[in-house]
Chains A and B, each alone.
Chain A
């Protein structure tokens, strides 16, 4: 699907071709080699088809600003993923965003709060919403779904925006260890109890990539991994007194750590950082009529895009966003930025480490790209 996958397919085909031509590496078995080449070629062709479909069904970029009179009164169902510790907080933030968009565009915005990632996926796939705020991993999964699912052939998932928080359109996960613990550097944590966050990009998937990047074996490293529901649970575990602590190190969304009180921060040692992870995406679901995007829905999506872009420049709204969601604002989305997640997911998405912890702590602080959105997500 990705460029890497395509390159891998071509390399494999070339390799198979060389083997078939030279008989290198053992006795010749032309029939077997030919069958293997054909099978590989068919698989690669299928991948190419999927990728082409993905290009057709997932697009990004800045849409032209519509005439406000054309979108005035048009309904827009706007879905929010779970992002805050309480429904009240989420409801208030969603209402603030919806009000701002309504006031700026004239659209009749209906905010919808999803209970979890499954609901988000279902509503987007079934067409129960027109636009949605998505966590990055969820966005990647949905793009793959839209590319593959024949039932979604006549729908285009248009990436409108990418979130910016703390002045950056990406975030990282921290690998932390208590300063009074036995771990002084990353390799010291290998094989020790390690706190991971269930279904999290920065708390689970990217730490695996980091360990692999550092030349360590993820399977060995996370042998004693422990799965927590949220990033806050991992952080809390790390900050426990030495005798009560059940992990030697853990992976936590960086924002939680950067905003800790200095005293608490001083009790933690930063061992490593994951690669950068693109932040949340705002997408529009636009049906296609006669092969072309429904112009009415496209205008509504454009209005939403331009309104949210303006929100970051509006000091009052920006303050409300930082307070309610943890964002500074948005930038125009570029689907290629999410290829990094696709690569990591392709390599390590199938890894299963650790055992679930019994307790469930409270959700972490806000941000669609933060702990709470990742914790309840589906794998």
Chain B
């Protein structure tokens, strides 16, 4: 059962119980009051009837008939019943009935009347020897009230006695009890309603709001705070709830920040892993495996677009000799610098950049690049090119949307730039090297990566064979030509041997 129902019910029952207990006391007091009132009224009636009877029986001659008629009418017209009168009797000094509401009792002894209540004083004053209230006596007998008063009958004292049924009193009492009960029940109901309304706003509604706040917090609304106020227990509970929610919220925010940091760190590590997995550690260029993936994707893309794609395979001339002469560290330095120069040909957005191969800001130089949109001069925009270390001192440039002629020009610029100045400035003239390059174009020299690489390799071989420090384009067909024939069929571009 909900608290908003339970509380009013308990309050109502409590009020009813309290009201019932109160009604018992009230009813008892009421019954006592009703009885006292009934006794007073009965005594008054007896005194009045006694005065009437005395006047009739003291007349000359005594008017017994009139008295009997008065008593008859008391019965006949229901006047007596209204007062609860069961019977009225006038008794003479000898205890004999002179008049009775039941005529059959005439001239009998009124056995209901105690002897000590009867008066027999000749000519004595009316009411002589009576109590202060003018009665000869009053007592309850069963469910009847017997009242007697002295009265002068003719020349002697007599007694008027009357029996009153308590039914009427009982009815009054019952009616009083009913009134008290209904009043109490009504009062309890109204009180319960008011109390329940009060409790509803003071306790139940605030508890419900607090419960809703708690439910919301449980659902994850960590910014939820209780609006319940007050310095009572519920108010303190709400404050504690808010403090707890604050702590929980702060803890959650801390956790969230930690997670973000960790996530960033993880992403960074992932990127580093990715970079390590796809780049050559010495030069920072794509490694061969990644180059194969990029090339395959590029060929598929250009196949769909029906656009040319060129591949430039580069090899440093006499690199073994350079290594032997200057040591492997110098060789590595040479490769690293060449790699850096080649990387500058690719920018953010190209395949290499996407693979985390951004050139560091400390790069000392780059190959000359043709101005953007310089197609008028026959120089292609190669910003989307990708550079890779193919193995040893061999490098590969993938030039998207580039015809063979444009690729030959790009390769020639690279060759010329390398040959123009020492690649490693710190070594002086000792650092001057040359390179040879073979250029193959999709789809004319090969329509898949292997064919295209083989064509470029054949062209490179031809460049080497032709004396190095030169660029050779692959023959258009056949792509599967033998290396010597390919070299012989190659078209050298510029340079010197």
Asked whether A and B interact, the reply is yes
Residues on the B chain within 8 Å of A319, using CB = none
From residue B56, how far is it (CB to closest CB) to chain A in Å?
A: 13
Establish whether residues B103 and A275, one from each chain, have CB atoms under 8 Å apart when the complex forms.
Answer: yes
Instruction: Give the residues in chain B near A292, CB-CB below 8 Å.
Output: none
B324 at the interface (CB under 8 A from A): no
User: By the criterion CB–CB under 8 Å, are B68 and A273 in contact?
Assistant: yes
> CB-nearest residue of chain A relative to B66?
A167
Task: Tell me the complex Cα distance, A168–B72, Å.
Answer: 7
Q: State the CA gap A214–B75 with chains docked (Å).
A: 21
Selected contact of A275 from candidates B76, B102, B107, CB within 8 Å: B102
Structural contact, A166 and B76, CB atoms closer than 8 A? no
B428 within 8 A of A: no
CB-contact partner of B104 in A166, A167, A210, A262, under 8 A: A210
Partner of B103, one of A258, A276, A337: A276
User: CA of A169 to CA of B79 in the docked complex: distance in angstroms?
Assistant: 14
Cβ contact within 8 Å between A276 and B69: no
Q: Is A168 touching B104 in the complex (CB atoms < 8 A)? A: no
CB distance from B371 to the nearest CB of A (A): 127
Taking a contact as CB atoms under 8 Å apart, the answer to whether B107 and A274 are in contact is: no
Residue ID in chain A nearest B63 by CB atoms? A258
Interface of A is mostly: mixed
A185 B107 Cβ-Cβ under 8 A = yes
Within 8 Å of chain A (Cβ to Cβ): is B360?
A: no
* Residues of chain A from 203 to 253 with CB closer than 8 A to chain B in the complex: 209-210, 213-214
The closest CB in chain A to the CB of B96 belongs to A185
Chain A residues near B61: list those with CB within 8 A.
Answer: 262
B106 at the interface (CB under 8 A from A): yes
Interface flag for B108 (CB, 8 Å): yes
- B353 to A: closest C-beta gap in Å: 114
Tell me, in angstroms, the Cα distance from A337 to B77 when the chains sit together: 11
A213–B73 contact, CB under 8 A? no
Q: Does A5 interact with chain B (Cβ within 8 Å)?
A: no
| In contact, B106 and A272 (Cβ under 8 angstroms) | yes
Number of A-B residue pairs with CB-CB distance less than 8 Å in the complex they form: 45
Quick one: closest B residue to A259, CB to CB? B65
Contact present for B104 and A273 (CB under 8 Å): yes
The docked-state distance in angstroms from the alpha carbon of A186 to that of B108 is 9
Q: Are B107 and A276 in contact (CB under 8 A)?
A: no
Whether the Cβ atoms of A166 and B103 lie closer than 8 Å is no
Q: Is the CB of B103 within 8 A of A214?
A: no
Complex contact B103–A172 (CB within 8 A): yes
The interface size of chain A toward B, counting residues with CB under 8 Å, comes to 23
* A337 vs B75: C-alpha distance when bound (angstroms): 11
Q: Which chain B positions have C-beta within 8 A of A337?
A: 76
Inter-chain contacts of A166 with B (CB < 8 A): 65, 69
By beta carbon, the residue of chain A nearest B61 is A262
Task: Report whether B69 and A273 are in contact in the complex, using a CB–CB cutoff of 8 Å.
Answer: no
State in angstroms the CA–CA spacing of A227 and B217 once bound together.
Answer: 110
Q: Is the CB of B69 within 8 A of A167?
A: yes
- A154 CB within 8 Å of chain B: no
Evaluate contact between A272 and B65: CB separation under 8 angstroms.
no
Q: Which of B61, B73, B102, B104 is packed against the most chain A CB atoms within 10 Å?
A: B104
CB-defined contacts of A89 to chain B, threshold 8 Å: none
Q: Identify A274's interface contact among B65, B72, B76, B104, CB under 8 A.
A: B104
B65 & A258 in contact (Cβ 8 Å cutoff): yes
Residues of B within 8 A of A258 (CB): 65
Q: Give the contact-size bracket for chain B.
A: 10 to 19
Q: Is the CB of A167 within 8 A of B73?
A: yes
Closest B residue, CB atoms, query A211? B104
Smallest CB gap from B64: residue in A: A270
Q: Which residues of B contact A214 (CB under 8 A)?
A: 104, 108
Do A169 and B107 touch across chains, with their CB atoms under 8 A apart? no
Shortest beta-carbon distance, A374 to chain B, in Å?
17
Chain B residues, Cβ within 8 Å of A276: 72, 75-76, 103
B50 smallest CB distance to A (angstroms): 20
A170-B104 in contact (CB<8A): no
| Chain B CB within 8 A of A271 CB | yes
Inter-chain CA distance A167–B68, complex, in Å, is: 11
The residue of chain A having its C-beta at the shortest distance from the C-beta of B108 within the complex is A214
Cβ–Cβ < 8 Å partners of A172 in chain B: 68, 72, 103
Q: Which residues does chain A contribute within 8 Å of B73, judged by CB atoms? A: 167-168
How far does the Cβ of B374 sit from chain A's closest Cβ, in whole Å?
127
C-alpha spacing A275/B69, complex, angstroms: 13
- How does the 8 Å CB contact mask read for A251-281 relative to B, with 1 for contact and 0 for none? 0001000100010000000111111100000
CB contact list, B88-108 vs A, under 8 A: 102-104, 106-108
Point out the residue from B69, B102, B106, B107 that lies within 8 Å of A168, measured CB to CB. Answer: B69
Q: With the chains together, A168 CA to B103 CA distance in Å?
A: 14
| Closest CB in chain B relative to A278 CB, distance in Å | 8
Which B43-97 residues have C-beta < 8 A from chain A?
61, 65, 68-69, 72-73, 75-77
Q: How far is the CA of A178 from the CA of B178 in the complex (A)?
A: 59
Contact with B along A171-192 (1 / 0, CB 8 A): 0100000000000011000000
- Assess the A272–B72 pair: CB atoms within 8 A: no
Residues from chain A with a CB closer than 8 A to the CB of B106 are 270, 272-273
Nearest-neighbor residue (CB-CB) of A213 within chain B: B104
Known contacts A168-B69, A262-B61: does B76 contact A270 (CB below 8 Å)? Answer: no
Q: Which of B168-186 contact A (CB under 8 A)?
A: none
Give the residues in chain B near A272, CB-CB below 8 Å. 104, 106-107
Q: How far is the CB of B110 from chain A (nearest CB, A)?
A: 14
CA distance A169 to B73 in the complex (A): 8
In the bound complex, what is the Cα–Cα distance between A337 and B78 (angstroms)? 11
- B65 and A170 contacting across the interface, CB-CB below 8 Å: no
In Å, the complex CA distance between A271 and B76 comes to: 23
Task: Give the residues in chain A near B103, CB-CB below 8 Å.
Answer: 172, 273-276
- List A contacts of B72 (CB < 8 A): 168, 170, 172, 276
**A254 vs B103: C-alpha distance in the bound complex, in angstroms?**
12
Contacting residues of chain B (16-64) with chain A, CB-CB under 8 angstroms: 61
Known A169-B76, A170-B76, A276-B76; contact A270-B107, beta-carbon cutoff 8 A: yes
Which chain A positions have C-beta within 8 A of B76? 168-170, 276, 337
A185 to B108, CA, bound (A): 9
A185 to B103, CA, bound (A): 15
Min CB–CB distance B54 → chain A (angstroms): 19
Q: Cα distance A274–B102 when bound, in Å?
A: 9
Cα-based distance from A254 to B68 in the complex (angstroms): 11
The answer to whether B104 and A275 have CB atoms under 8 Å apart is yes
Beyond the given A167-B69, A172-B103, could you list 18 further A-B residue pairs with CB under 8 A, ordered by the A residue number? A166-B65, A167-B73, A168-B72, A168-B73, A169-B76, A170-B76, A172-B72, A209-B104, A262-B61, A271-B107, A272-B104, A272-B107, A273-B103, A273-B104, A274-B103, A275-B102, A275-B104, A337-B76
Question: What residues make up the interface of B, taking CB atoms closer than 8 Å to A?
Answer: 61, 65, 68-69, 72-73, 75-77, 102-104, 106-108
Q: List 7 A-B contacts (CB under 8 A).
A: A166-B65, A166-B69, A210-B104, A214-B108, A271-B107, A273-B106, A274-B104
Q: What 8 A-B pairs are tightest by C-beta distance, nearest first?
A: A273-B103, A273-B106, A258-B65, A172-B103, A168-B72, A213-B104, A168-B69, A169-B76
